[in-house]
Structure 1
Amino acid sequence: MEKKTSLFQQILRFGVVGGGAFVIDYGIMVFLTEVVGINYLLSSAISFTVSVIFNYILSVKWVFNVTGERSQKQDFAVFIVLSIIGLGINSLVMWIGVTKFGINYMITKIGATAIVMVYNFITRKVFLENGK
C-alpha cells in the first residue's frame, strides 16, 4: 500500500516544484524576450509550456497522490487540459497587466504566476488525485 502524502506535505512540495517551474518559466520568458526579441506574450506562452512538462513530471511523481486508476496518458491529458486553462489565465493576466495597466511584463509575470499557482494546486488536487 502506498503511503499518502499529507496536505501540508503536498503544499510544501508543490511550492518547491512550483518554485522550480517558475525559475524555468521566468528565465525562458526573459531570455526569449530580451535576447531573442520575441514578443512578451509569445515568449510567456512558450516558457509556460516548457515549465508545464517539468511541473507534470514532479507533480505526478512527488507532489500528489496519483493512484494509478487512470493510465499515464489519461493523467497527462488531464494535466494538459488543466495547464491549457492555466496558460489562458496566465496570458490574460499578462495582457491585462501590460497592455491595460502599463505594468512591466517581468513584474506582471510574478502576479500571473501567483494566480495560476493557486488555480493549479486546487485543480490538480481535485482532478489528479484519486483518478477523478
Structure 2
Amino acid sequence: MNRQKNLLLEIVRFVVVGVIATILDYGTYSLLALAIPNSWNPIIETIICTAIGFLVSVIANYFLSVMWVFQNVDASANVKSKKNMLLFVILSAGGLLLGMGVMVGFETLSANVLALDINNWIIDFKVNQFKSLAFWYFTLFFGVKTLIILSYNYFTRKKLIFKAPKENINEQIEN
C-alpha cells in the first residue's frame, strides 16, 4: 500500500512539474512565434519555436526532477552524475525530436487540411479572440504533443535514470 501511495505521489509531482514545464514551453513557443517574421517558412518556424521552448522547459524540468519529483531513487543511481545528466539530455533530445515531429505533423495538417496557420494564433486571437480557430487548434495540438512527451519522459527517465531501490522493485513484483 505504501509503495502505491509513494508511486502515486511521485506521478502527481511529475505532473505538477510537467505543468510548469508546459507553461514555460507554451509561453516560449508562443512568444517566439510572435517574434519571427511571417516571411519565414512555417516548418522552420515550427522547428525553431519547438526546440527553444522545449530546451527552456527541460532545464527547469531537470532541476525539479532531481530535487523534488523522484524521491525514491536507488542511492547507487547517482542521478546528479555527469553520466545521468547526459542521459537526461539525450532522453530529452528524443522527446524534442518526438515533439518536433508531432508539431510539424500538426502544422502540416492544419495548413493543408484546415487552411490554418497555427503558428500565427496570437495574431488571429487578437482579432477573433476565443473564436480564433488557430488558437483552439494550436492549443489542442500542443496538448496532444505534451501528453505524448509527458508519457515518454516519465517512463524513460524512471526506467533509465531515477530507478527505485532493488527492495522496492522486488516488492512491486511480489504484489
- Shorter-chain TM-score above 0.5: yes
Give yes or no for the alignment of 1:69 onto 2:77.
yes
Q: How does 1:70-109 map onto structure 2 within 5 Å?
A: 70=78, 71-102=80-111, 104-105=118-119, 106-107=138-139, 108-109=141-142
| Partner-residue secondary structure (3-state), 2:77 | coil
Moved over 4 A (4+): none
The amino acid across from 2:36 in the alignment is: G
When the two structures are superposed, what TM-score results if normalisation uses the length of structure 1? 0.86
Gaps of 5+ in 2: 38-44, 120-137, 165-175
Aligned partners of 2:32 and 2:49 also within 8 Å: yes
Cα distance between partner residues in 1 of 2:32 and 2:76: 37
> Would the alpha carbon gap of residues 25 and 11 (structure 1) be closer, same or farther in structure 2, given more than 3 Å must change?
same
The one-letter code of the counterpart of 1:41 is: I
Paired residues in the alignment total 126
Distance 2:59 2:19 in 1: 14
> In structure 1, what residue type is equivalent to 2:96?
L
Using a 3 Å threshold, how does the CA distance of structure 1 residues 81 and 9 change in structure 2: closer, same or farther?
A: same
Q: Paired residue for 1:51?
A: 57
Name 1:121's counterpart in structure 2. Answer: 154
Instruction: With the length of structure 2 as denominator, give the TM-score of the two structures.
Output: 0.66
Q: How many angstroms does 1:101 deviate by?
A: 4.4
Q: Which residue of structure 2 aligns with residue 12 of structure 1?
A: 12
Bigger radius of gyration:
2
